[in-house]
């Protein structure tokens, strides 16, 4: 019982301090679990074992994140996405439904790097003038962007999938292969949502009535950047970069090499071809170091929390009182309950708290009712991913509403329910195909 009390206090402190933003996650994940382990009565040798086991669990995924973010950052610097975005914007013309579909496609492709800020900066500035010209409310742009990035975040280098794989102690590429049918369904649903919401905008809010105060020249020049950014573009290498990216994704699908090595190799080729000068290579690595290291450092630190929770017996001890509290008729369907609540929970709880605090506990309780951990993880992943751009805990949310000059409450009022419905559709599909078992 004492071990369970220490475990609950540890998790409560971590989640509370993260929610209150009293410290960065890395510090909390390193200090609190270690202190808790000593308070629980474990020796230095035992705590050392917990730490090593936990770090071993997440180290490959941390390396994957570093090099995947760097690879797609280099592709973005070189202008791989520019031609696609510019052609799609021109293709959209003045058809509101087509504009909405094009928005979804741009959001989906621009989130290949798994970075929410990149997706926001590629999609919203490119399309906002067109939305204004066609009298389409910016809330639709936010909704579709958030939906596209949420579905694409199920990629193996997406932060939530990497975290879930760490908690499962599972190869992230294997987990992604299982998620592919759900992701494809999500992509189809994203296009469907874009069409339905665009029809609604036309029918009820006058979208499609041309605003002549927004000139076509404004739309043509939306991606005009400063000289420093333009100097990084490699328009003659766009085809090569597309083929390299395609090759990386194909190799990942075949799963013949460690996924982190695939991106390490891809980064090396991308740098050699696009930026052969050693100073340019160093500059590109430095430019993406912050984004690459931020999450990977947190992931390595979270390995300590995972190690202490899993190897000390805390997690098992914590399930005993929970089993007494949760009615059995609910507990045996806990994966469905958690899947339904995943989006609202993901909206108000930070990513690290969700995956390293709530998910392991839900898995452990579920196992007592013959619910496999993988079953629970997939159910909880779907809604959490879709909640990305409606969560006040995600910095990109504030960047997006700032760029569109939209109030947070208006964004949530417009987007929350449609996204929740979409997450439930994906959950139902996962149940139908047997990925989430009843």
Give the tens place of pLDDT for each residue, 316-341. Answer: 787 777 767 778 778 888 999 999 98
Q: What is the mean pLDDT of residues 92-113?
A: 85
Tell me which DSSP letter residue 357 carries.
I
Q: What's the gap between Cα 103 and its chain centre?
A: 18
Structure tokens at 304: 């300590």
- Closest-CA residue to 14 (of 367, 355, 398): 355
What is the model's pLDDT at position 213? 57
Segment 40-94, tens digit of pLDDT: 989 999 999 999 988 887 788 788 778 877 887 888 788 877 776 677 767 767 7
For the beta carbon of residue 177, count every other beta carbon within 10 angstroms. Answer: 14
- Closest-CA residue to 184 (of 146, 155, 145): 155
> How many CA atoms within 13 Å lie on the side-chain side of 353?
22
pLDDT band, residue 138 (cuts 50/70/90): very high
Q: 162-166, 176-180, 332-336, 346-350: lowest mean pLDDT where?
A: 346-350
How is the chain split among helix, strand and coil, in percent rounded to 5?
A: 80, 0, 20
What is the model's pLDDT at position 225? 45
* % of the chain exceeding 90 in pLDDT: 31
Higher-scoring residue by pLDDT: 199, 248: 199
Tokens 């917990």 sit at which residue? 50
- Closest-CA residue to 139 (of 411, 422, 392): 411
Higher-scoring residue by pLDDT: 91, 98: 98
Is residue 193 scored above 90 in pLDDT?
A: yes
Is residue 299 scored above 90 in pLDDT?
A: no
- Coil/strand/helix, residue 240: helix
Segment 268-279, tens digit of pLDDT: 999 999 999 999
Mark residue 42 as left, alpha or beta (left: phi above 0; alpha: psi -120 to 50; beta: remaining): beta
List of residues 6+ apart from 368 with CB closer than 8 A: 319, 323, 331
Cα–Cα distance for residue pair 112/394, rounded to 1 Å = 18
- Contact (CB, 8 A) for 113 and 76: yes
Higher-scoring residue by pLDDT: 239, 1: 239
Distances from the Cα of 30 to the Cα of 1, 45, 103, 258, angstroms? 24, 17, 40, 27
For the beta carbon of residue 417, count every other beta carbon within 10 angstroms. Answer: 11
Q: 8-12, 172-176, 351-355: lowest mean pLDDT where?
A: 351-355
Does this model's pTM top 0.75? no
What are the extents of the domains in the chain? 2-432
Cα–Cα distance for residue pair 375/354, rounded to 1 Å = 16
Cα–Cα distance for residue pair 119/106, rounded to 1 Å = 9
pLDDT band, residue 212 (cuts 50/70/90): low
Is residue 37 scored above 60 in pLDDT?
A: yes
Average pLDDT of the residues of the chain: 84
Rg, Å, the chain Cα set: 22
pLDDT band, residue 227 (cuts 50/70/90): low
Cα–Cα distance for residue pair 274/270, rounded to 1 Å = 6
Top-confidence range, 255-264, 346-355, 419-428: 419-428
Tell me which DSSP letter residue 438 carries.
-
What is the model's pLDDT at position 69? 78
Tokens 């879709």 sit at which residue? 386
Cα–Cα distance for residue pair 257/102, rounded to 1 Å = 34
Cα–Cα distance for residue pair 17/305, rounded to 1 Å = 15
* % of the chain exceeding 70 in pLDDT: 93
Is residue 216 scored above 80 in pLDDT?
A: no
First to last CA, the chain: 31
Nearest-5° Cα angle at 20, 19 to 23: 95
What is the model's pLDDT at position 370? 87
Top-confidence range, 37-41, 119-123, 211-215: 37-41
Q: 109-118, 123-132, 284-293: lowest mean pLDDT where?
A: 109-118
pLDDT band, residue 192 (cuts 50/70/90): very high
Cα–Cα distance for residue pair 254/261, rounded to 1 Å = 14
Is residue 8 scored above 80 in pLDDT?
A: yes
What is the model's pLDDT at position 184? 94
Distances from the Cα of 361 to the Cα of 6, 157, 284, angstroms? 14, 24, 40
Segment 342-398, tens digit of pLDDT: 998 888 776 777 888 888 888 988 888 889 999 999 999 999 999 888 887 676 787
CA dihedral 165, 171, 173, 177 (to 10 degrees): -80
Cα–Cα distance for residue pair 396/196, rounded to 1 Å = 25
pLDDT band, residue 117 (cuts 50/70/90): confident
């Amino acid at each position: 019982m004492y071990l369970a009390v220490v475990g609950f206090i540890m998790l409560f402190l971590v989640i509370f301090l993260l929610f209150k933003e009293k410290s960065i996650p890395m510090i909390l994940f390193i200090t609190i679990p270690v202190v808790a382990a000593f308070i629980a009565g474990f020796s230095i040798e035992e705590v050392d074992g917990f730490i090593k086991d936990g770090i071993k669990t997440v180290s490959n995924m941390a390396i994957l994140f570093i090099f995947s973010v760097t690879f797609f950052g280099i592709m973005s610097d070189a202008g791989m996405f520019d031609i696609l975005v510019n052609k799609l914007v021109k293709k959209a013309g003045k058809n509101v439904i087509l504009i909405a579909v094009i928005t979804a496609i741009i959001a989906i492709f621009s989130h290949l790097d798994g970075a929410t800020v990149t997706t926001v900066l590629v999609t919203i500035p490119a399309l906002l003038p067109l939305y204004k010209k066609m009298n389409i409310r910016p809330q639709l742009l936010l909704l579709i962007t958030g939906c596209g990035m949420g579905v694409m975040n199920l990629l193996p280098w997406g932060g939530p999938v990497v975290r879930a794989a760490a908690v499962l102690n599972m190869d992230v590429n294997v987990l992604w292969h299982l998620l592919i049918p759900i992701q494809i369904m999500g992509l189809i649903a994203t296009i469907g949502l874009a069409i339905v919401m665009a029809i609604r905008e036309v029918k009820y809010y006058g979208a499609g009535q041309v605003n002549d105060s927004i000139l076509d020249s404004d739309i043509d020049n939306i991606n005009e950047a400063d000289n420093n950014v333009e100097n990084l573009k490699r328009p003659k290498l766009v085809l090569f970069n597309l083929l390299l990216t395609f090759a990386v994704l194909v190799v990942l699908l075949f799963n013949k090499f460690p996924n982190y090595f695939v991106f390490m190799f891809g980064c090396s080729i991308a740098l050699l071809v696009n930026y052969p000068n050693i100073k340019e290579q160093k500059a590109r690595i430095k430019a993406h170091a912050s984004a690459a290291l931020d999450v990977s450092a947190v992931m390595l630190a979270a390995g300590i929390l995972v190690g202490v929770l899993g190897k000390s017996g805390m997690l098992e001890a914590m399930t005993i009182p929970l089993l007494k509290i949760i009615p059995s008729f609910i507990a045996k369907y806990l994966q469905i309950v958690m899947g339904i609540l995943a989006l609202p929970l993901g909206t108000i709880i930070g990513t690290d708290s969700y995956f390293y605090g709530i998910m392991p506990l839900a898995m452990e309780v579920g196992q007592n009712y013959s619910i496999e951990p993988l079953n629970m993880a997939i159910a909880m992943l779907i809604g959490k991913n879709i909640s990305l751009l409606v969560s006040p805990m995600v910095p990109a949310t504030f960047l997006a509403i700032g760029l569109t000059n939209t109030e947070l409450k208006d964004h949530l009022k417009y987007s929350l329910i449609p996204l929740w419905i979409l997450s439930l559709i994906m959950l139902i599909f996962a149940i139908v195909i047997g990925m989430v078992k009843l």
